[in-house]
């Protein structure tokens, strides 16, 4: 347990030591919120769908968590290339604990990023429907973060080159985000697009956040929670196995 705590704390220290990282990671979410929120807001309202800022914010929070969590896997490749991972893996502790510590650390940082985006969004007009649901909001944030931090670990455990990881991430991140319903409602979509959205794991995270923040859910909060929990456990198991097979 000490190993898990130390690695978790190490990730947090890295995050808080880098102010430029915190500010830089807010740039893209703020751009989406301002440019798309106010740009498409009048069109969304004329279509009778209500306030677009209200609809958009849960999706942007999920996007921020997704990006931060997945790219936390880059650190594994970085540590491989510079030998830091070898020093960790030769320690007399189970590799499973090392994987848990790194993943939970990345997930905690990603959740904090999501909280910051939520707080900032309130200054541009977003309103939470029920403050009593904040604990559920945090639960969904953390589940999304753990899920995609574990996925980042799975991918990074199979690769040795930073450029390969970035290519795969770009191939995954944008489809995951754009097909999740973060920017548009999932109801009334063509059958093919609806089917793709239903197998996009981020769709359930966005829907869970939207349901807990606004009381509007496409799949239902119980389904969102069940899907995220099961897939997180599966990816955690796969990630632990692959991480244990890393050669030093």
> In sequence order, what are the residues at sequence separation of 6 or more whose Cβ sits closer than 8 angstroms to the Cβ of residue 81?
160, 162
203-211: average pLDDT: 94
181 pLDDT more than 90: no
190-206: average pLDDT: 91
pLDDT band at 22 (very low <50, low <70, confident <90, very high): low
User: Burial letters for 89-101: b for 16+ Cβ neighbours within 10 Å, e otherwise?
Assistant: beeebebbbbbbb
Q: What is the pLDDT of residue 88?
A: 63
CA atoms within 13 Å, Cβ hemisphere of 132: 1
Question: In the chain, which residue ranges form alpha helices assigned H by DSSP?
Answer: 2-17, 19-31, 37-39, 41-46, 52-71, 74-82, 84-89, 95-122, 134-158, 162-178, 191-199, 201-214, 221-244
160-165: average pLDDT: 72
Q: What is the pLDDT of residue 12?
A: 62
Residue 193's CB is within 10 A of a number of other CB atoms, namely 12
Q: What is the pLDDT of residue 124?
A: 85
Per residue in 138-157, pLDDT (tens digit) is: 999 999 999 998 888 888 87
pLDDT band at 213 (very low <50, low <70, confident <90, very high): very high
225 pLDDT more than 80: yes
Per residue in 38-90, pLDDT (tens digit) is: 777 777 777 666 788 888 999 999 999 998 888 877 777 776 666 566 666 66
């Amino acid at each position: 347990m000490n190993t898990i705590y130390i690695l978790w704390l190490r990730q947090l220290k890295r995050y808080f030591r880098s102010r430029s990282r915190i500010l830089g990671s807010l740039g893209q979410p703020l751009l989406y919120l301002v440019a798309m929120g106010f740009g498409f807001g009048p069109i969304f309202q004329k279509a009778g769908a209500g306030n677009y800022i209200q609809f958009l914010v849960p999706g942007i929070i999920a996007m921020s968590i997704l990006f931060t969590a997945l790219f936390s896997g880059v650190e594994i490749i970085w540590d491989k290339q510079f030998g830091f991972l070898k020093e960790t893996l030769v320690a007399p502790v189970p590799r499973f604990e090392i994987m848990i510590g790194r993943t939970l650390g990345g997930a905690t940082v990603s959740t904090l990023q999501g909280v910051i985006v939520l707080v900032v969004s309130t200054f541009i007009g977003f309103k939470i429907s029920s403050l009593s649901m904040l604990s559920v909001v945090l639960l969904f944030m953390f589940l999304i973060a753990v899920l995609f931090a574990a996925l980042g670990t799975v991918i990074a455990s199979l690769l040795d080159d930073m450029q390969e990881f970035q290519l795969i991430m770009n191939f995954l991140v944008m489809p995951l985000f754009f097909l999740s319903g973060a920017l548009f409602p999932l109801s009334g979509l063509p059958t093919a697009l609806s089917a793709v959205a239903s197998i996009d794991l981020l769709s359930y995270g966005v829907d869970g956040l939207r349901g807990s923040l606004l009381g509007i859910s496409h799949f239902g909060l119980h389904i969102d929670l069940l899907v995220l929990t099961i897939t997180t456990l599966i990816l955690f198991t796969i990630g632990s196995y692959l991480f244990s097979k890393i050669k030093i």
